[in-house]
Amino acid sequence: MKLTLPFLPTASCQTAASLLALAVMAGCSSPTSTPDTAGTSAAADSTTYAPRAPQAAANSPLQVVFAAREPQFVGVAVLPDGRVLADFPRWDNNPVAPVAVVGSDNSVKPYPDANWCTWNETVRNEPQKHWICPQSVYADKTGMLWVLDPASPGLKGTVPGGPKLVRIDPKTDKVVQNISFPESVASRKSYLNDVRVDTQTNYAYITESGEGSLVVVDLKTSKARRLLKAHASMMGDTTLNIKADGHEMIDATGKRARFNADGIALSQDGQYLYWKPLTSYKLYRIKTEALRNAALSEAQLAAQIEDLGKVPACDGMEIDAQNNLYMTAFENHSLVRRTPAGKIETVVQDERLEWPDTFAFADGSLYVTASAIHKTPTWNKGVGRQDQPYTIFKMALPK
């Protein structure tokens, strides 16, 4: 079902995760948030918030692929053989399988194995070989799986030597590339949020939500550069109040969430990278050729950023074969898309999209997670208000 949606800037906002609240976010979908003090009425709203169990929309195209009460997960990827993966970042818990193959019977299998999923005192000396706080799983056009680990458990700062981008070959379920990011790229305050890979140029592009920046990785050399740190296009709008279910996102101290660069998407031809901060109604893009040009100064690079105008606040983004940009518009339980002409269309609206977070496209289907970030204790004065399982849905990709 596709309806034209008049854009209402007063009813939009998003995030990448309860992440951002703690340190922060992304986020995730995911990231760091620098909160601002909210007014008394806003704080009262946080106190009186009473969520209700969501109901499926009539004739909803959404099908449940996987559902689990705990722990919370945010990302999803679909492998060429049809296996579905989810990632469970270590924010407020310690999942046994922070990256896992999930089944329609709600089974969870550690991926690529139990050793990679182990993080405790016995393995603290090898942070590069274990998932610490994985935020994103992504399958590229060749079928390779990429796992992005910002290595910031509880969003309390990165584990030294832990931030990494890992490539796994699903045919063997073995790690074939493991890129470690130095503190000059992923500082202690950073939160690597989401990744897109251009298999033609062998470059990866990453949003970093903690301080607000982009990270560009030459996959041939494993060298990375952090770009546009704290540029206006990377930073959350301090004048906006995030809402979900009409509930303002305010933490226990009365501070309003602010989320930096989070959602990211790569055009089909690889020529443009799109991104946006979570707490912002603006969408940006830049030519990837500029991002790969190390000779450009920050000022020269910033001059090439295009402001594409207003869009709904969202967490995750992805682009289809026709270059429609899909966005998880969590403020009104919707998935929307922006056409190449700039028109905003509703793809589906369903109350079960409790903070729709991250997309994956595979075999003509759209997959999306519902991470219910707004119902976690961080945003409810320490009281978790999640009243349904965290869920992965899928639907036919609209024409």
pLDDT per position as a tens digit, 314-346? 999 999 999 999 999 999 999 999 999 999 999
Distance of CA 329 to the CA centre of its chain: 13
For residue 2, what are its two tokens?
């596709």
The residue-averaged pLDDT of 238-256 equals 82
Inter-residue contact 317 to 351 (CB < 8 Å):
no
CA distance linking residue 343 with residue 261, whole number of Å: 23
pLDDT higher than 70, residue 129: yes
Strands 317-319, 75-78: pairing kind: unpaired
Helix, strand, coil % in the chain, rounded to nearest 5 = 10, 35, 50
The residue-averaged pLDDT of 354-373 equals 96
The rounded mean pLDDT for the chain is 87
CA distance linking residue 146 with residue 266, whole number of Å: 15
pLDDT higher than 60, residue 377: yes
CA distance linking residue 129 with residue 117, whole number of Å: 9
Distance of CA 323 to the CA centre of its chain: 19
pLDDT higher than 60, residue 11: no
Beta-sheet strands, E only, within 242-374:
243-244, 247-248, 255-256, 261-266, 272-277, 282-287, 306-310, 317-319, 325-329, 334-338, 344-349, 356-362, 365-370
The residue-averaged pLDDT of 87-115 equals 94
Inter-residue contact 282 to 221 (CB < 8 Å):
no
Q: What percent of the chain has pLDDT over 90?
A: 72
Model confidence pLDDT, tens digit, residues 16-31: 333 333 333 333 444 3
Distance of CA 194 to the CA centre of its chain: 5
352: three-class secondary structure by DSSP: coil
Q: What is the pLDDT of residue 30?
A: 41
Name which residue leads in pLDDT, 15 or 256.
256
The angle subtended at Cα 175 by Cα 174 and Cα 178, nearest 5°, is 175
95: phi then psi, degrees, rounded to nearest 5: -60, 145
Q: What is the pLDDT of residue 380?
A: 83
- Poorest-confidence range of 35-39, 51-55, 190-194, 290-294? 35-39
Q: What is the pLDDT of residue 253?
A: 83
Name which residue leads in pLDDT, 374 or 396.
396
**What is the dihedral angle through the alpha carbons of 117, 211, 23, 149, rounded to the nearest 10 degrees?**
0
CA distance linking residue 223 with residue 358, whole number of Å: 27
pLDDT higher than 60, residue 9: no
> What is the sign, positive or negative, of the torsion defined by CA atoms of 340, 341, 342, 344?
negative
CA distance linking residue 353 with residue 70, whole number of Å: 17
**DSSP β-bridge partners for residue 206:** 195, 215
ω into 170 cis (within 30 of 0): no
Name which residue leads in pLDDT, 394 or 399.
394
Model confidence pLDDT, tens digit, residues 150-188: 999 999 999 999 999 999 999 999 999 999 999 999 999
The residue-averaged pLDDT of 247-256 equals 82
Nearest to 78 by CA among 399, 359, 321, 372: 359
197: three-class secondary structure by DSSP: strand
Place of tokens 């226990």: 252
Q: What is the pLDDT of residue 156?
A: 93
Model confidence pLDDT, tens digit, residues 35-73: 443 333 333 344 455 666 788 888 899 999 999 988 999
Domain ranges (residues) in the chain: 3-396
Rg (C-alpha) for the chain, rounded Å, is 19
3-396: CATH topology: Neuraminidase (2.120.10)
Distance of CA 104 to the CA centre of its chain: 23
Place of tokens 């690889």: 270
Query: What is the per-residue DSSP string for 315-346?
Result: S-EEE-TT--EEEEEGGGTEEEEE-TT--EEE
The angle subtended at Cα 253 by Cα 311 and Cα 242, nearest 5°, is 10
